[in-house]
Structures are given as C-alpha cells and as structure tokens.
Amino acid sequence: MQLIYEKSTPGRRGIKLPASDVPAAAALPSALLRKENAGLAEVSELDLVRHFTNLSRRNFSVDTNFYPLGSCTMKYNAKVLENAASLFAPFHPMTALLPGGVEFCQGTLGMLYDLGQLLADITGMDEVTTQPLAGAHGEMTGIMLVSAYHAAKGNKAKKKYVVVPDSSHGTNPASAAIAGYEIITVPTASYGDMDLELFKAAMTDEVAAVMMTCPNTLGLFNPHIKEISDIAHSHDALMYYDGANLNAIMGKVKPGDVGFDVIHVNLHKTFGTPHGGGGPGSGPVGVKKALIPFLPQPRIVMDADGKLLLETENKGTIGRTANFFGNFGVMAKAYAYIIMLGREGLIQVSEQAVLNANYIKEKLKAYYDLPYDMICMHECVFSASKQLEHGVHAIDIAKFLIDKGYHPPTVYFPMIVKEAIMIEPTETESKGAMDAFIEVMIEAAQTAISNPQALHDAPLTMPISRLDETKAAREQNVCCIG
Amino acid sequence: MNESHYCPHTPEEIAEMLSVIGVASVEDLFAPIPAELRAKTFNLPSGMSEFETFDRMKAIAGDNTQGVTNFIGGGFYDHIIPAVVDHLSGRAEFYTAYTPYQPECSQGTLQALFEYQTAICRLTGLDVSNASLYDGGTACAEAAMMALRVTGRNKIVVDGCVSPFSRQVLKTYLFNQDVEVIEIAPQAGLLGRAELAALLDDSVAAVLVQNPNFFGSIEDFTALADQVHAKGALLIGSVYPIALGMLKSPGETGIDIAVGDGQSLGNPLSFGGPSFGFIAAKKSYIRNMPGRIVGETVDRNGKRGYVLTLQAREQHIKRHKATSNICSNQGLCALRGLIFLSSVGKEGLADLARLNRDKAEYAKAQLSRIPGVTVLPSITFNEFTLSLPKNAAGVVVALLGSGIAAGVPLGQYYKGSENCLVVTVTEKRTKKEIDTFAKELEVALCN
C-alpha cells in the first residue's frame, strides 16, 4: 500500500481551519523561521479516511481476531469505557496545579484517589501513585522508591543489587538499571520457579530488592513466595511485584499479604483498557506504608473533610516521573471497568482466565511439549521442541496461525523455554472460540509432521509474506525521504 | 447466574471444561496458592451495569468546573482536533491491537508508525525518529540519557527556561545514575548565555534547551549549537510541534536530538494524558535511540513492508543493557498525531501556526494596555509572560471564579516572579474571548 506521502498532491488542502478574527501579526525575523514548510501529507479528507481505514484493515486486533498473546492479557475492551474516558477530554491538567486550582478539579482528582484506593485493596498495598505512564515506567518508579527507602536509612552505597529470576520480563532488569542497580539473575529450577537454593546463595545484605512476577512468566504460582519474601526481608531487601500477571489472582491472593512491598499494575492488561497498537498503557504503583514518604509529586491526598488536595513540597520524594497525573484517560477507563465489574466480577475474571488457560493446556498437551506440566494460572507455556524434530520452529507455527486468522501467541518468551509458545486466552474468550483455536493448533502440529514446508511458507493469505528483518536492521530506513 | 460482564461461559460449559482439566471445581485450580496466603478480605463494592457505570462517570466529570476558557498552556495546549482523528484512531483494528510483534498481521500499525516517524523527521528536520515515547518530560530524560551514551560523559546542562516539569522528570530519571545536572538561571525569560559559556567544557554530554521556552520566548540557538559542538557535546532541543509550522526546525538549528510532547497534535487535554513524547535525531545516533523503531524492508517476494527494527537495543533482548526500559509506548496517541498532521497538511500547519501567533499577538496588545501590566519583551509564539501589579496567583484564582483560566503564575516555579503570569492563546480563542479576558483581568487587578 502506498504511503500517505505518496498519495499527496502539492497544493491540496485538508481540513479547513477557523478564519482569523484578529489582525495579522508582524512577521518574525527570518533567522527564527523555517526555510520551507514541513513535508506533511497533502490529501483530501476522503483520501485520508480511505488511507487509514484501509491501513486498519491490515491489522489483527482483539475485536477482529482471537489474540492469545501471552503476558499481554489481550482481553475484550468494553466499548462503554471509551465513552467514559471521552467525558474528561476538556479538562486541562494545569488547572489543578494553579494555586487554589484543586477546587475546580475535585471530580478528576477524586477519581484518581478512588482508583488508588481500589487498586490498594486489590493488591494489598497502603497507597498508590497513578503517575507512571506504563508498566515499565511503573517498575522504574517503584525501584526508585526502593532506592530512596534505602538511602533514607543511610544504606544507599551498600545496596547495589537487584535480584531477578531468569524468567522475568526484560523490563525488570532494564528498569532497575535506570534506578542505578546492578542485576543478579537467578536461574529457574526444574519445578518451574526461581531456584530456591540458588536464590538463598545470591541473597546478601547488598541486595536492595527482589523483583518477581507471581504467577511467573511460565504461568505458575510460586508456592515458596512467602519464604522468598521472608529471606529478602531478613537482608533488608524489599520485594517488588511486577503486576503484569495480576489478571490471575484478583480476590484470590494479595501481593501485599505475601510480603511484597512495591507493585506496579498494568491497567491495560488486567483492567480492560485497550492496548492501542503499542500503547498508551498505565502503570500505577502501590506501596506499603514505609515507602509512602518517597512517592512522586504531586501526590493526591484527602483532608479530614473529604476534599482532595495536592502535596507538592515533600522533602523525601523521588520527584516527578511524568509531567502531570499519569495517563488519566486510560485510568478513567480502568476505573469504570473496576466499578462496573465490582468485587464478584473481578473474582470471576481471575477464575475464568485461569479456567481458560488450563483448558487450552489440557487440550494441547498431547500435541505440544509442555515443559512444566502442572496446574497453571492465567497462561500456559508450551515448547515447539517436538515440531523442531521435523524442522518446524515456533515462529513457523505462529505464521501458520496467522493464515488461519489467529494472532499468534507470544513466541520465544520466556527465554528459558526453548521454542516457547506462550498462550494467554483471557477470560473473555468463549469455549467455542477456544475450541476453534485448539483445532487449528492441532492442525499445525499435524502439518509439522505431514508437510513442514507448508509451515515454512506461511503466511500466504496476508498482504505480505515474511519480511527480511536483516535488511531492515542493516539499511535503517526509518523515515520516508521526500 | 453469570455475575460478571464479558465472561461468556454457561455453567454447562464450565462443567465440561473442568472435566477436561480433571478437577472438580474452579477453586481447585487455585490449589497452587498455599491456603495461608489466600486473601482474607476483598472489600470492593459490588458491580453494576454499563449504564449505571456511565452515569457514575458523568457525575465524576460533573464534579469538575465546566466550561472554563483556557488561557493556560504550560506544556498542554487547547487546540482543535479534526473529527477524523477520533473516528480513524477509533477504528478497533488500531486500538485493540498491541505492539506489532507479528508484522504480517500488523502492517496497519507498522505502516502508520513509519508514516508517523516520517512526519516527525520532516517536522524537526532530522533524520531518524521512533514509534513514540511516554510524554514530553520523559522524552527530555530519554534524550539526556541518549546523549550520555553517545558521548560517554556524565554532565547535563539544562536551561532554566525549560519547563519545570520536564526539568524535574529529568532530575528524577538521572538521580541514581552518577550524573551531574546543572541548571542555568533564566535571564529575563531567555537562556543565560554567559553562564552557559562559562560552564561549557569537554565534560558536558549535552545542553538541553526549549523553544519556545516556559516563558513563551523564542530564541535562535544556531550559534549555541556551534558552541556546544565545539566542545564535543550534543544540543538537545525540546520543541512545540505546532510552532514548528513556522519556526526554524531543530535540523536547521543544528540541534542533535529534538524532543517534545505530542499532545497538541490531535490529543485531548484529558487532565494530562495520554499524550505522547516524540524524539528525532541525526542518523548517526540511531543505535542509541530509546524505544521501538519501525523500519522499511521487503518480503520474500520483494514487496515493501514494515517491521520493528534494531530490536537488539531493546529491553526484551538486551535486558539491563538496553538503551531504555520502554516496552509499551503511546502508539495510539502517536497515530492520532499522524492523522492530525495529515489532516491539517503541509500548508495547513503553517496557517495554524500563523493563526496561533496572530491571536497571541492580539491578546498581548490588549492585555498590555491594562494599567500596571507590562509584557516581557521577548519574541513569542502563542505564549507570553505578563508582569502584573500584584501577585499573579491571586489574580488567577479570582478569574477562575469567572470561568477564565488566565494562565500559569510563575511564582511557583521561579522565585521572585510572583507577579508574573504566562498566558497562552491558541487558535481556539476568539477575539471576543480575548476581549472579555482583558476586561476581567482589568477588573481583577482593580479589586
């Protein structure tokens, strides 16, 4: 398909702007002006609409295709959430930051405060900041809080390391690195969780925090989690919970109850807000009491009369991790989702997410190698190792699924599983939709034996076939020269 | 009864699935969680229908003061949003997809992001861009970290005229990184060039400036770029994309890394987000860029297509050695930015910039006629700084009561500027609104 710039005609105008009702200003000195207008598109509105409508049709999405992308929780995004978020479009964030401005923003500040309270209950934390703009941004914020905590105790120089299991999301070590830590990686044991003995050996008083997801990226709940957190605490290391997999445990177990001190929540995963083709997400961070003094500013607090205020002068704060109050529009959707589903609804979300993942796991384990064969939580991880005997890789199965109208599961992650295929159906898929997916997965396994070339050739039904990624990386053509 | 929304199974289906799994109840699936760790309380309120939910949300929005006329900016701007932006970005194929890991079934998102990167490169006059960052503040921080990697140095010099929010975000990001951040005090709303010249040596990784700056002032940083380069440092410029319809581009200025907040490109104010951060740089720095990058390539039949490229920089491969921890970005907001720019178009953006400046210059003339009010004598775009005969914070509160958000009082951010007010006038403000504002301000100053 042509680029929008290739559809442009010099001089063609798009949207009509409001006419000016004021005199034209004197021109600026030419040294301050650009020599020529930026080469933006020059298309009619209909051409524009056709272009982006046709582009959209080149995407798989939750609304058009089953999208069992493990670790990403691609659940249905309720339409009413979009309507709810649009109610807040006109509110300028600076209004709240003006002296006395909170009076004019009690609705929006109140919603953020309430969202924090609801998330604190769900996660077992004492307070939540809504400022972080994505999951990884929440991780970074959380580990900075850990650093401030140790610094306040005079231990900043001593605390050098953050411990992560080798199954962790890549963002965990990357976020800890920004907060100034070196990383210790602990291998996974045969039972599917961080090796407890190796963990004990890694723990010293120089460890600042242990970052974990629970259930982990294999979809398994770590039965030793309390022991791990007790060991961490005995070294004055804090426990960080990566909330990417929270969809499995709502109402069942609270990270705060099992010893976690800091948590980020991915509102775009667990709380039903759309993923936007890569974002925006939202990554509120919950903390235990001991970390409250370090929370980012402005911090929303409630006075004795129930009025919302902004705290901006706290000496202990880590500062500011984003310009304003976070991705408010995303949080409005998540808040609406939580109050709509309520207590029973969220419990059922976790129950059916876990039910669906186990159903797929049982149905497929005769066809695909299941390295950790036990009850899983919200996702299950297979390996294409059986298929590899016929020269078929996980990526070939993924491309076959595309031809059949399915967005592939996450492949090659977690890295500790060879040829990993990580399936997360979420609670919103019907049994019928999953049965159809299971049939196609079985067909892929059978085709791997009968006709491996067919899998290597896939996909054949898309606008393009497999792309040359090496050429892209070598040529670095990331902008249309025009 | 099915208690929950969007969980589709019937009791019969659940029973069938449980028998496939070989457990008696859904509760058995939670057996891996030790009993003593199970939640003892879960106190959320009960749920409701989507209709009741929407009513609740309307009530919450109703608790904010409605219908305020915005003369505030400070990084977020009240601009027009063409109807096509909502409609096209509201295509569920865009907004219910995720990061395009599987390019064959994600060409819509990938091509749109490639077109977005192109728009940002053309707007900034630089060579390479990425698939978006979180916001303007974090984009400043990412650019600074990029400059640290490129130069191997550990000092960042920041113009005090850069948004105080961006400066705070930058400091928070760099706090644990053994980096020295030095701020230059503003001189009458402009960069303190003498102080900077005295500081600039070969230990400086980058100098961060903003154009127009927080006071609204426009400066030419072309000579500064030469000075900075002479010391082997990079010049980072935070820019306002609407102003780039008119102002000298970062590329023409000699800026090495340009960043900014994309809110003004088709994203609503929405109480501060979501918007997006953009970044563009000279090509030689591409391997040090943060975040996702979309690149052009060909498929097996030689047909053009787009993929996420240079992923070896990223956290899912490099882990703690990645150029950034970014995973989710603000893709849909960047798409809105692209649709906005494509709707306004090449000539339209120049017109829009002109309209902003014309309205602001008109307002400047009207407001500076009020007795006791003077205007900071710098060249400006759509924001300018007034000096009032009394404390600006009190005046702003008084005017908010009459439905006018008069501007951002500077006293909170700059000591000694308690009487200063930064006023923003976008194309949406009418002559009538500006005239009313001038009248109300005069009244407020008399009281």
Cross-chain Cβ contact A326/B118 below 8 Å? no
Mean pLDDT of B238-258: 98
B355-379: pLDDT as tens digits? 999 999 999 999 999 999 999 999 9
Is B220 in the A-facing interface, judged by CB distances under 8 Å? yes
What is the interface pTM, i.e. ipTM, of the complex? 0.98
pLDDT band at A302 (very low <50, low <70, confident <90, very high): very high
Min distance A210 CA to chain B CA atoms (Å):
15
Residue of B16, B85, B96 to mutate when probing chain A, most A C-beta within 10 A: B96
List all residues of chain A from 108 to 147 with a beta carbon under 8 Å from chain B.
108, 110-111, 118, 121-122, 124, 133-137, 139-140, 144, 147
pLDDT band at A314 (very low <50, low <70, confident <90, very high): confident
CATH topology of domain B69-78+350-446: Aspartate Aminotransferase, domain 1 (3.90.1150)
Residue A321 contacts residue B172 (beta carbons within 8 Å): yes
Backbone angles phi, psi at A263, to 5 degrees: -145, 145
Residue A213 contacts residue A244 (beta carbons within 8 Å): yes
- Measured between CB atoms, which of A67, A108, A428 is closest to B7? A428
pLDDT greater than 50 at residue B241: yes
CA distances (Å), origin B14, targets A354, A435, B8, B10, B374:
12, 13, 10, 6, 73
Min distance B195 CA to chain A CA atoms (Å):
23
SS3 content of chain B, % helix, strand, coil (to 5): 45, 15, 40
| Percentage of chain A modeled with pLDDT above 90 | 98
Residue of B16, B70, B98 to mutate when probing chain A, most A C-beta within 10 A: B98
Is A429 in the B-facing interface, judged by CB distances under 8 Å? yes
Is B390 in the A-facing interface, judged by CB distances under 8 Å? no
> B83-340 domain in CATH 3.40.640.10?
yes
Contacts of A50 (CB under 8 A, 6+ apart): none
pLDDT greater than 90 at residue B300: yes
- 3-class state of residue B159 by DSSP: strand
Is A425 in the B-facing interface, judged by CB distances under 8 Å? no
- Measured between CB atoms, which of A59, A72, A345 is closest to B4? A345
Mean pLDDT of chain B: 96
**Using CA atoms, how far apart are residues B112 and B121, in angstroms rounded to an integer?**
14
Contacts of B439 (CB under 8 A, 6+ apart): none
Structural domain boundaries in chain A:
1-17+37-56, 81-339
Cross-chain Cβ contact A92/B246 below 8 Å? no
Cross-chain Cβ contact A37/B350 below 8 Å? yes
Q: Give the 3-state secondary structure of B105-126.
A: HEHHHHHHHHHHHHHHHHHHCC
Contacts of A468 in chain B (CB under 8 A): 297-300
Is B53 in the A-facing interface, judged by CB distances under 8 Å? yes
Contacts of A83 (CB under 8 A, 6+ apart): B54
Contacts of B235 (CB under 8 A, 6+ apart): B206, B207, B209, B221, B224, B225, B228, B229, B253, B254, B255, B256, B257
Residue of B134, B183, B218, B252 to mutate when probing chain A, most A C-beta within 10 A: B134
Q: What is the DSSP string of B177-194?
A: TT-EEEEEPPBTTB--HH
What is the helix (H) or strand (E) element at residue B362, kind and residue range? helix B331-368
Contacts of B341 in chain A (CB under 8 A): 40-41
pLDDT greater than 70 at residue A371: yes
- Measured between CB atoms, which of B75, B107, B270 is closest to A329? B270
pLDDT at A107: 98
Chain A CA closest to residue B82 = A15
- 3-class state of residue B258 by DSSP: strand
A94-128: pLDDT as tens digits? 999 998 899 999 999 999 999 999 999 999 999 99
pLDDT band at B346 (very low <50, low <70, confident <90, very high): very high
Is A273 in the B-facing interface, judged by CB distances under 8 Å? no
pLDDT band at B3 (very low <50, low <70, confident <90, very high): low
List all residues of chain B from 363 to 382 with a beta carbon under 8 Å from chain A.
379
pLDDT greater than 90 at residue B192: yes
Contacts of B101 in chain A (CB under 8 A): 69, 410
Structural domain boundaries in chain B:
69-78+350-446, 83-340
CB pairs under 8 A between A and B: 716
pLDDT greater than 70 at residue B1: no
| Percentage of chain B modeled with pLDDT above 90 | 95
**Using CA atoms, how far apart are residues A218 and A198, in angstroms rounded to an integer?**
19
pLDDT at B154: 96
Domain A81-339, architecture per CATH: 3-Layer(aba) Sandwich (3.40)
pLDDT at B4: 65
Backbone angles phi, psi at B235, to 5 degrees: -105, 120
pLDDT at B303: 98
- Measured between CB atoms, which of B13, B39, B103 is closest to A251? B39
pLDDT greater than 80 at residue B2: no
A21-60: pLDDT as tens digits? 999 999 999 999 999 999 999 999 999 999 999 999 999 9
B73-95: pLDDT as tens digits? 999 999 999 999 999 999 999 99
Backbone angles phi, psi at A298, to 5 degrees: -70, 140
- 3-class state of residue B96 by DSSP: coil
Cross-chain Cβ contact A429/B3 below 8 Å? no
